[in-house]
Structure 1
Amino acid sequence: MQPARVRILDTSRCHLGEGPSYDPATDTAWWVDIPERRLFELRLGEAGPARIHALPVMASDVAAIDDRRQLLSAEDGLYVRTIADGGLSLCCPLEADDPGTRSNDGRVHPAGAVWIGTMGRDAEPGRGAIYHVAGTRVTRLFANLTIPNGIAFSPDGATGYFVDTDEGVLRRVALDPATGLPTGEPETHYDHRGGAGGIDGAAVDAEGLIWTARFGAGCLDAYSPAGERVRTVPVPPSRPTCPTFAGRALDWLLVTSAYEGMDAAERGADPEHGRTLRVDVGARGLLEPAFRLAD
């Protein structure tokens, strides 16, 4: 374990905080609470708690489109949200004919397409998948997953990463940098089977290190492009879920967390459960690309 400076960014507790993103133009952080159907907006340079927007759907991921709109990955599809008034319009359906699944982890590839995972609402084995969405064209990439997570991309867009948290193997796959589509089969990047906690969300820094949240183990891990775990940073909530780089210099990690599945005794023993953090890990990140509506 290598300690880092950690502070509570927002004291609100998320049942299942996920899908954070950062807008440098307005110095604003965004994230969601999936089951509670809430979208959080926090202007980092201003005092006060995050503004909470009620959503009509369970959303799992927030991404930029432009200065007026953002993309929400939700239980039945991808939605365009107008920031000024919160209006939603369906961009494209995603497993909308299967009420037993919902979206989970997602990231935008440098080419402007999004990779988005789906899973069973009760994490039923094999119900999950990962899709590539370019504009409104949906392509299923990987199936028979349980809890797809850890979606991230190398700085040059030539490598994709993902994990099935239930299995515990972080995988890499060669990609076409121009499209974000795989050009080969997934390979093992790091085998975490048998280790404490489960690999959850991920973000890649400017040097290519893959930073992941380890749900249930109260820490973040950094993996090298060669597949070695090179650093572990403890954080207060035992169930961190997803990091993203934030701040004007993109030099710290915003980390969401959850209290999903915790009983009263576990919550009492974990005083920062469900809170959103700032973690100064001493790395500079990359801004997540904007989603391209037209492909």
Structure 2
Amino acid sequence: MTSTAVPAAVVVEGAYELAEGGRWVDGRYVYVDILSGRLFELRDGTGPAAPRQLARLDVPLGAVAPVSGRPGAWIAAAGTGIALLTPDGTLEWLDRPEDRTPVPSRMNDGVADPAGRFWAGSMAYDGTHGAGSLYRTDPDGTVVRVLDGLTIANGPAFTADGTVLYFADTAVGTILRCRVDPVSGGLVGGPEVFARLGDGEGGPDGMTVDVEGCLWVAIWGAGGVRRYHPDGHLLHTVTVPAPHPTSVCLHPSDNRLFVTTARYGVENPTETSGAVLGFPVSVRGTAACSWRGTVSA
């Protein structure tokens, strides 16, 4: 395992409370500030720049994915459920499953898979153990609870063929891996532990898979990003100059890593907490997949 501490470029000086969900979409970097319910895009990813705000919701916004064939429309893990976000900022709810949970909860990170489904996790506001779930939204708009009993369901990421799903339970320090039937979207067997972080190592947060099939993971509470081989062994760690990195996104063409960070829970935040940071790396990523929904936005 190798480790690097290359200087981080501050791509966006955002002072965000909880920046998250960074994705490369149609030639732009898209991300959210969860607690303020804001969605941003950044078209110039080279150095400090002013992002454009695309939407501001009155509920927390965990993550979005583009809707295939509908420019400007998004599927969103927001508030207590899954909604379509229209170009004018209107939310059209598909389902709000977290309204039916015993403790106040919200949606968290999410991603579309190569088959056009949208997957997103949830968590209780107070971090109640076992209160989180993982959901799948099918193209017909049906929202399915795939797994429950999680605590902070985070960072879903897929391999290029859509047959392997990685996700994290941040609070208990585990990265899980599931086999997925790419036709039905059903899990083939239960989740297995792919990697486990020890005490003091932080918690796994946002994730992405690079073009070589390796998994990149933001490590909340430890100021780092880890790259894992598909067999589970740790290949490399990038030092992040902020204690709470939250999501990772690899540029599809120019070997850059974008990392969102949080000010939430940081006693003395600097400009790198609540920002978007950039790092040179040796591998590329892929553009975000779209949700191929058949319901109107």
Flag whether TM exceeds 0.5 (same fold): yes
- Letter of the 1:16 partner, please give it: L
How many angstroms does 1:5 deviate by? 5.5
Counterpart mapping for 1:73-92 below 5 A: 73-83=77-87, 85-92=88-95
Q: Contact 1:65/1:293 (CA < 8 Å) preserved in 2? A: yes
Q: Is 1:237 aligned to 2:242, yes or no? A: yes
Q: Is 1:11 aligned to 2:16, yes or no? A: no
CA–CA distance in structure 2, aligned partners of residues 5 and 22 of structure 1 = 22
Equivalent residue, structure 2, for 1:273: 273
Equivalent residue, structure 2, for 1:256: 260
Q: Tell me, what secondary structure is at the counterpart of 1:260? A: coil
How many angstroms does 1:175 deviate by? 1.1
CA–CA distance in structure 2, aligned partners of residues 123 and 102 of structure 1 = 11
- 149, 165, 172: which one pairs with 2:170? 165
Q: Contact 1:4/1:281 (CA < 8 Å) preserved in 2? A: no
Q: Tell me, what secondary structure is at the counterpart of 2:247? A: strand
Equivalent residue, structure 2, for 1:61: 63
CA–CA distance in structure 2, aligned partners of residues 101 and 88 of structure 1 = 19
CA–CA distance in structure 2, aligned partners of residues 201 and 137 of structure 1 = 25
Q: Which moved more, 1:5-14 or 1:116-125?
A: 5-14
Pair 48,223 (structure 1): closer, same or farther in 2 beyond 3 Å? closer
Q: Is 1:125 aligned to 2:126, yes or no? A: no
Counterpart mapping for 1:18-29 below 5 A: 18-24=20-26, 27-29=27-29
Q: Tell me, what secondary structure is at the counterpart of 1:166? A: helix
Pair 94,253 (structure 1): closer, same or farther in 2 beyond 3 Å? farther
Q: Tell me, what secondary structure is at the counterpart of 1:95? A: helix
Q: Contact 2:157/2:167 (CA < 8 Å) preserved in 1? A: yes
Count of matched residue positions in the alignment of Structure 1 and Structure 2: 287
Q: Is 1:220 aligned to 2:221, yes or no? A: no
Note the alpha carbon deviations across 1:31-72, whole angstroms, 9 max, x for none. 111112222222226984112342222110021113231122
CA–CA distance in structure 2, aligned partners of residues 277 and 91 of structure 1 = 33
- 212, 219, 230: which one pairs with 1:207? 212
Q: Contact 1:150/1:170 (CA < 8 Å) preserved in 2? A: no
Question: Which segments of 5 or more consecutive residues in structure 1 lack a partner in the other structure?
Answer: none
Q: Which moved more, 1:8-17 or 1:149-158?
A: 149-158
Q: Tell me, what secondary structure is at the counterpart of 1:278? A: strand
The TM-score, its normalising length taken from structure 1, stands at 0.90
CA–CA distance in structure 1, aligned partners of residues 115 and 180 of structure 2 = 11
- Alignment RMSD, CA only? 2.0
Q: Which moved more, 1:10-19 or 1:175-184?
A: 175-184
How many angstroms does 1:246 deviate by? 3.1
Equivalent residue, structure 2, for 1:110: 114
Q: Tell me, what secondary structure is at the counterpart of 1:185? A: strand
- Letter of the 1:145 partner, please give it: L
How many angstroms does 1:12 deviate by? 0.8
Equivalent residue, structure 2, for 1:97: 100
Q: Among all aligned residue pairs of Structure 1 and Structure 2, give the percentage whose two residues are the same amino acid.
A: 33
Question: Which segments of 5 or more consecutive residues in structure 2 lack a partner in the other structure?
Answer: none
CA–CA distance in structure 2, aligned partners of residues 45 and 195 of structure 1 = 33
Q: Which moved more, 1:86-95 or 1:155-164?
A: 86-95
